[in-house]
Structure 1
Amino acid sequence: MNDLVFIQNDEVLTDSLTIAEVFGKEHKNVKRDIENTISNIDILKTSEEARGLGIDFSSLKFERCEYKAANGQIYTKFLLNFDAFMLVTMGYTTQRAMLVKVRYINEFNRMKEALQKQQQVLQPKTQAEMLLLYAQQMVEQERKIKALEEDNARQNSRIEQLENKIEKRMTEEFEMQLVTPTQIGKMFEPAISGKEVNKLLQRAGLQWRVGGEWVPTAEGKKYSSSEPIQLENGKMVYQLKWQRRVKDIIQAEMEVTVK
Structure 2
Amino acid sequence: MENKLVFVKENEVVTDSVTIAEMFDKEHKNVLRDIATQMEYAGEEFSQLNFEQCDYINDSAKGINRHRKYKKFNLTEEAFTLIVFSYNTKEAVQTKIRFIQEFKRMKEYIQSQERPKAMNDKESLLASMKITIQLNEDVDGMKEDIKQLRHDIDKRITLDYSQQQAMRNAVNRRVHKLWNEGMIDKSIYEKTRRVYSALWKNLKDAYRVNAYSNISQKDFDEAMSFVEGWRPIFNGKYSA
Please give the range of the TM-score, normalised by the shorter of the 2 chains: 0.3 to 0.5
Flag the structure with higher helix content: 2
Larger-gyration structure (1/2): 1
Q: Which has the higher contact order (CA 8 A, sep 6+)?
A: 2
The TM-score normalised by the length of structure 2 is 0.44
